Amino acid sequence: MKKTADNKAPRAGNSDTFKSGKVTYLSPLPLPTGLPPVDHSHIVAEVTDEYLELGAFTPNVFGWQLTLAMPMFVVVLSVIVAPTLFFFLGLLWGKGFGDAIDIWLLFFQEGLQYGAGFGSVILLIALFPTLQAHFKLRGVVPTRFNRQRREVCLVPSDSDTPVIVPWEELQAWVIQAQGVTQYGVQRQFGFGFGGTDPKTGKGTSLELMSAGLPLAISTWEALRAYMEYEVNSLTEIQDPLELQKPGDPPWEGVHTFYNARDRMRRRRREGEVGWYYPFLWYCYHLLTLWTLPNHLTEWEVRKLKRLNRRATPEAAQRWSEPLPEAQWAKPSDELKRLSEKVRQKQKANPGRLPYEVFAEVYSEEDRVPQASNL
């Protein structure tokens, strides 16, 4: 998390260019983008009635499956596939079934030794990024969006003092950049936000990578929709892939494994997929050690929650407590008026980029005082 923020706040729709790309602003004044509110990167860790918590890292089952599948593939190849192959070769070119069994035992013993050794090395290499991410997360405080207060709480990485930014003054932007590497032209996209605490004058900002510009804008729209009471739960902004049932915890875990198995069986029963789909499903999950990745994901979620609670300053925890409804902050008249104008333009001409609509609305706003002076 950066420590500084721009002193001169731009307007939504403005753009700044730099040598390798462009920064386009989506706020202050968080106007509706018209894109679906979807957290494609799963950076939102928790949604409550009081606040939305933006985590630096959200554990997922696939990461653990990939980590375990690589060494298991080496073991299966060394202990099962190779000995079986040489068993049949022994039947074809050996002196009988006894020779084939001897060949199988020889390659099984060798495969067990080398498979265990190489598999362990690959497992340690695969675990390194996970361990590195855990060390980076020590002391990192998630960002919180409090819709009852209509404020955002950011904690810089080098300070325990929260920076409380009014929601309507928060700067948000998307970044498009490109550069030439040995592999060709590489395009990168990002999403960021930040601002200054009006009480202390301290500022900070946070930037996150994204797979594409529409995905980055959709992430911002998910935050905006939550703050404006347009969405109220994590499942509304994150695609659960039909793996979350009512009452399930919002993160991935053992429950998602059994939900996925139920979905697979239902699809086979209803004729959506052939016999090969269940066969491949079971092979994949046996290769990834059945429910072990799901148990590891749940362990990781619990560990990160403990780290986050330990790192969150007491001031941020008090700030996150619920308020009586009579004390809830309300959106400004300017935000409501401009948001309605944006929605009318989006409805009249759908498909336009959000910041183009923002720029047009503000351009019309700038012409109003000039016309009244004539």
Per-residue model confidence as pLDDT tens digits over 270-327: 999 999 999 999 999 999 999 999 999 999 888 877 777 767 788 888 999 999 999 9
Helix (H) or strand (E) holding 272: none
Q: What is the average per-residue pLDDT within 152-158?
A: 85
Q: Which residue has the tokens 């598999």?
A: 119
Distances (CA, A) of 30 to 10, 221, 227, 336, 360: 12, 9, 10, 10, 15
Distance CA 260, CA 241 (A): 9
Residue 332 confidence (pLDDT) above 60: yes
Looking at the chain, the whole-number percentage of residues with pLDDT higher than 70 is 89
Q: Which pair of tokens denotes residue 120?
A: 């362990």
Distances (CA, A) of 346 to 31, 35, 160, 250, 302: 12, 10, 42, 32, 42
What is residue 182's predicted lDDT score, i.e. its pLDDT? 57
The burial class, CB within 10 Å (0-12 / 13-18 / 19+), for 259 is: middle
What is residue 316's predicted lDDT score, i.e. its pLDDT? 87
Distances (CA, A) of 36 to 33, 219, 265, 310: 8, 9, 31, 34
CB 240 within 8 A of CB 38: no
What is residue 3's predicted lDDT score, i.e. its pLDDT? 40
More confident residue, 250 or 36: 36
More confident residue, 181 or 55: 55
Handedness of CA 313, 318, 321, 325 (dihedral sign): negative
More confident residue, 193 or 308: 193
